[in-house]
Amino acid sequence: MPRPPEYNRLEVVNAAMQVFWAEGYESSSIQKLLSAMSLNRGSLYAAFGDKEGLFLEALDLYVEDVTVTLKATLWAIDDPLQAIRSFLESVCLIEDEAIRSRGCLLFNSISEFAHVNHHLAAQAEQRTKPLSALFEKRLAEAQSLGLLDSQKSPKAMADYLLTLAVGLRMHAKMNTSRETLQGIINVGLSAL
């Protein structure tokens, strides 16, 4: 009978997520991952199958964290448009340089895989759907309240907001000024 693992899976996956987020998928060597997770090679392969399996579980953890944050932010304020503004500000007006400079693991991964690993690119892209769905829900609510044109597609607007959030996160990574970021948010929201 095999011994049960002697580690906390969530802690191990979180440690791997931090490596992938800092280094990217390709630059995250098995040795770096093993060191960060305090696991041996056999345990990694027994638990996750391979580096890709570990990465996808780490990406799921990241998306789960982002989804919880997005949901909390989007429903913390009654006015759906103010809630969306609050989220967009939280995405780019990040004080902590270490966090700001890493960008978004999900979209960093999509960008990394776009032309080199179509399977992982598709896996990462699939994980954007729950985020877009949360925006779509608040946008439909804004339409029902008469705050937005009811003729516009909530899905198209949600996809646009996700694109805007990614762009804002990239600007934050480049240390764009707060004033410029606020201007981008204002113009972006006026397009709704």
Residue 94 has pLDDT above 90, yes or no: no
Question: In degrees to the nearest 10, what's the CA dihedral of 68, 72, 73, 76?
Answer: 180
Domain containing 96 equals: 59-190
Phi-psi region of 159 (alpha: psi -120 to 50; beta: other; left: phi over 0): alpha
User: pLDDT digit string (tens) for 12-71?
Assistant: 999 999 999 999 999 999 999 999 999 999 999 999 999 999 999 999 999 999 999 999
CA torsion through residues 99, 100, 101, 104, sign:
positive
Q: Where are the alpha helices (DSSP H) in 24-104?
A: 30-37, 41-48, 51-74, 80-92, 97-102
Residues 49 and 178: their CA atoms lie apart, in Å, by 44
- As a 3-state breakdown, the chain gives helix, strand, coil percent values, each rounded to 5, of 75, 0, 25
At residue 155, the 3 state secondary structure works out as helix
Give the total residue count for the chain: 192
Our count of domains for the chain comes to 1
Please check whether residue 112 is in contact with residue 28, taking contact to mean a CB–CB distance below 8 angstroms: no
Question: Domain of 66: which CATH number?
Answer: 1.10.357
Q: Considering the domain boundaries, does residue 50 fall inside one?
A: no
Please check whether residue 163 is in contact with residue 123, taking contact to mean a CB–CB distance below 8 angstroms: no
Residues 90 and 145: their CA atoms lie apart, in Å, by 24
pLDDT of residue 2: 53
Q: Considering the domain boundaries, does residue 96 fall inside one?
A: yes
Residue 5 has pLDDT above 80, yes or no: no
Q: Considering the domain boundaries, does residue 38 fall inside one?
A: no
Q: What is the mean pLDDT of residues 168-183?
A: 92
Q: Considering the domain boundaries, does residue 106 fall inside one?
A: yes
Q: Considering the domain boundaries, does residue 171 fall inside one?
A: yes
Q: Considering the domain boundaries, does residue 11 fall inside one?
A: no
* pTM metric for this prediction: 0.90
Residues 73 and 69: their CA atoms lie apart, in Å, by 6
